[in-house]
Chain A
Amino acid sequence: MREESRRASVPEELQKAHAAGEDATNVAAKTTGVPAADVFGVDTFFNLLGESEKKLRVCTGLSCRLAGSEKILAQAQAAGLGATESSCLAACDRAPAVLKERRTLVEITAADIKRSGGDWKELDSKEVPQHLRWSGHVWPAESKPKTCAINLAGKPNWSGAASTLATEMGDEAVLAAIDEAGLQGRGGAGFPAAFKWRSVRGQAETKRYVVLNADEAEPGTFKDREVMMKRPDLVLEGLAIAARIVRATEIYMYIRGEFEIPQQVMADAIERTQSAGLYSELHFHIHSGHGAYICGEETALLESLEGKRGQPREKPPFPTEVGLWGKPTLIQNVETIACVPSILTRGGEWFKALGKTQPGSKLYCISGHVANPGVYEMPLGICLDDLVQAAGGYIGKLKAFSPGGASSGFLPASERKRPLDFKALAEIGSMLGSAGVVVLNESVDMAWAAQEQLLFFERESCGQCSPCRIGTAYQRHLLDGYISKRGQDGAKDSLSKLSMVSKEMIEGSICGLGQTASLPLTSAIQYFPGEFA
Chain B
Amino acid sequence: MPFGDGETILDVTRRAGRQVPTLCHDDRLKPAGACRTCLVQIEGARRLAPACSTKAGDGMQVTTANERIDEHRQNLLALYLVDHHQGHDDCEDGAPCELHAMAAAYGAPTDWEPLPLARAERPNDDNPYIEFRADRCIACARCTRYCDEVEGVSAITMAKRGIETTVSTADALGLFDTTCELCGGCVAVCPTGAMAEKMPLVAKAPPERKLHKVRTTCNYCGVGCQMDINVDGYGNNGKGQVAKITSPPPGTLPSDGNLCVKGRFAYDFIDHPDRLKVPLVRNAQGELKEATWEEALAAAAKGLRAVEAEHGKDALAFVSSSRCTVEENYLVQKLARVAFGTNNVHQCAAT
Residues of chain A touching chain B, judged by Cβ–Cβ distance below 8 Å, are 25-26, 29, 35-41, 44-45, 50, 292, 309, 314, 458-467, 469-474, 477, 481, 497, 500-501, 503-504, 507-510
Q: Which of B70-78, B187-195, B229-237 is found at the contact surface with chain A?
A: B70-78
B60-85: contact bitstring with A at CB < 8 Å (1 yes, 0 no)?
00000000100110011011101100
A-B contact count (CB 8 A): 140
Which partner residue on chain A sits nearest B71 by CB separation?
A503
Q: Chain A's nearest CB lies how many Å from the CB of B193?
A: 17
Closest 5 CB pairs of A and B: A463-B165, A36-B170, A35-B154, A41-B157, A504-B75
Asked if B79 contacts A465 (CB within 8 A), the reply is: no
Among A25, A35, A37, A460, residue most surrounded by chain B Cβ atoms (within 10 Å) = A37
Chain A residues near B163 (CB-CB < 8 A) = 458, 461, 463, 469-470, 472-473
**Which residue of the partner chain, among B71, B148, B160, B170, contacts A45 with CB atoms under 8 Å?**
B160
**Which residue of the partner chain, among A44, A314, A470, A472, contacts B160 with CB atoms under 8 Å?**
A44
Q: Does B263 contact A (CB under 8 A)?
A: no
What secondary structure prevails in chain A residues at the interface with B?
A: helix
Cβ < 8 Å to A, chain B residues 119-134: none
Asked if B35 contacts A459 (CB within 8 A), the reply is: no
Q: Chain A's nearest CB lies how many Å from the CB of B154?
A: 4
Which partner residue on chain B sits nearest A47 by CB separation?
B161
Q: Does B156 contact A (CB under 8 A)?
A: yes
Extra A-B contacts (4), CB below 8 Å, given A309-B158, A463-B160: A44-B160, A462-B165, A464-B34, A467-B76
Asked if A469 contacts B139 (CB within 8 A), the reply is: yes
Chain B residues near A460 (CB-CB < 8 A) = 162
Q: Does B241 contact A (CB under 8 A)?
A: no
Q: Chain A's nearest CB lies how many Å from the CB of B201?
A: 29
Among B34, B35, B155, residue most surrounded by chain A Cβ atoms (within 10 Å) = B34
Chain A residues near B76 (CB-CB < 8 A) = 466-467, 504, 508
Among B138, B144, B162, B172, residue most surrounded by chain A Cβ atoms (within 10 Å) = B162
**A380-B185 Cα distance, complex, nearest whole Å:** 56
Which partner residue on chain A sits nearest B155 by CB separation?
A37
Q: Does B178 contact A (CB under 8 A)?
A: yes
Asked if B162 contacts A477 (CB within 8 A), the reply is: no
**Which residue of the partner chain, among B35, B36, B161, contacts A463 with CB atoms under 8 Å?**
B161
**Which residue of the partner chain, among B78, B138, B159, contacts A40 with CB atoms under 8 Å?**
B159
Chain B residues near A469 (CB-CB < 8 A) = 83, 139, 162-163, 165
Asked if A314 contacts B75 (CB within 8 A), the reply is: no
Which partner residue on chain A sits nearest B79 by CB separation?
A470
Asked if B36 contacts A470 (CB within 8 A), the reply is: no
Chain A residues near B82 (CB-CB < 8 A) = 470, 474
Which partner residue on chain A sits nearest B80 by CB separation?
A466
Asked if A39 contacts B170 (CB within 8 A), the reply is: yes
Asked if B154 contacts A466 (CB within 8 A), the reply is: no
Which partner residue on chain B sits nearest A35 by CB separation?
B154
Total count of chain B residues near the partner, CB < 8 A: 45
Q: Chain A's nearest CB lies how many Å from the CB of B166?
A: 9
Chain B residues near A470 (CB-CB < 8 A) = 79-80, 82-83, 115, 163
Asked if B79 contacts A467 (CB within 8 A), the reply is: yes
Asked if B34 contacts A510 (CB within 8 A), the reply is: yes
Q: Chain A's nearest CB lies how many Å from the CB of B195?
A: 14
Chain B residues near A509 (CB-CB < 8 A) = 36
Chain B residues near A458 (CB-CB < 8 A) = 162-163
What secondary structure prevails in chain B residues at the interface with A?
A: mixed
Q: Does B50 contact A (CB under 8 A)?
A: yes
Chain B residues near A39 (CB-CB < 8 A) = 170
**A451-B202 Cα distance, complex, nearest whole Å:** 45
Chain B residues near A472 (CB-CB < 8 A) = 162-163
Q: Chain A's nearest CB lies how many Å from the CB of B16?
A: 23
Which partner residue on chain A sits nearest B164 by CB separation?
A463
Chain A residues near B50 (CB-CB < 8 A) = 314
Q: Does B242 contact A (CB under 8 A)?
A: no
Chain A residues near B36 (CB-CB < 8 A) = 465-467, 508-510
Chain A residues near B79 (CB-CB < 8 A) = 466-467, 470-471, 474, 501, 504
Chain B residues near A25 (CB-CB < 8 A) = 170-171
Cβ < 8 Å to A, chain B residues 170-192: 170-172, 178-179
Chain A residues near B115 (CB-CB < 8 A) = 470, 473-474, 477
Chain B residues near A40 (CB-CB < 8 A) = 157, 159, 168-172
Q: Chain A's nearest CB lies how many Å from the CB of B117?
A: 11
Cβ < 8 Å to A, chain B residues 79-93: 79-80, 82-83
Chain A residues near B75 (CB-CB < 8 A) = 500-501, 503-504, 507-508
Asked if A465 contacts B170 (CB within 8 A), the reply is: no
Q: Does B336 contact A (CB under 8 A)?
A: no
26 contacts between A and B (CB under 8 A): A25-B170, A26-B171, A38-B148, A40-B157, A40-B159, A40-B170, A44-B161, A458-B163, A460-B162, A461-B161, A463-B139, A463-B163, A464-B165, A465-B35, A466-B139, A467-B36, A467-B76, A469-B165, A470-B82, A472-B162, A473-B115, A474-B115, A500-B78, A501-B79, A510-B33, A510-B36
Q: Does B112 contact A (CB under 8 A)?
A: yes
Asked if A504 contacts B162 (CB within 8 A), the reply is: no
Q: Chain A's nearest CB lies how many Å from the CB of B141?
A: 8
Asked if A37 contacts B178 (CB within 8 A), the reply is: yes
**A472-B156 Cα distance, complex, nearest whole Å:** 26
Q: Does B39 contact A (CB under 8 A)?
A: yes
Asked if B48 contacts A508 (CB within 8 A), the reply is: yes
Q: Does B319 contact A (CB under 8 A)?
A: no
**A507-B178 Cα distance, complex, nearest whole Å:** 39
**A464-B36 Cα distance, complex, nearest whole Å:** 10
**Which residue of the partner chain, among B113, B157, B164, B165, contacts A37 with CB atoms under 8 Å?**
B157
**A293-B118 Cα distance, complex, nearest whole Å:** 20
Q: Chain A's nearest CB lies how many Å from the CB of B62?
A: 16
Chain B residues near A464 (CB-CB < 8 A) = 34, 165
Q: Does B333 contact A (CB under 8 A)?
A: no
Q: Does B22 contact A (CB under 8 A)?
A: no
Q: Chain A's nearest CB lies how many Å from the CB of B54?
A: 8
Asked if A314 contacts B53 (CB within 8 A), the reply is: yes
Q: Chain A's nearest CB lies how many Å from the CB of B143?
A: 11
Chain A residues near B35 (CB-CB < 8 A) = 465-466
Which partner residue on chain B sits nearest A462 by CB separation?
B161
Chain B residues near A507 (CB-CB < 8 A) = 39, 48, 68, 72, 75
**A41-B39 Cα distance, complex, nearest whole Å:** 27
Q: Chain A's nearest CB lies how many Å from the CB of B145?
A: 12
Asked if A508 contacts B33 (CB within 8 A), the reply is: no
**A309-B156 Cα distance, complex, nearest whole Å:** 14
Chain B residues near A503 (CB-CB < 8 A) = 71, 75
Chain A residues near B112 (CB-CB < 8 A) = 474, 497
**A497-B160 Cα distance, complex, nearest whole Å:** 27
Cβ < 8 Å to A, chain B residues 7-54: 33-36, 39, 48, 50, 53
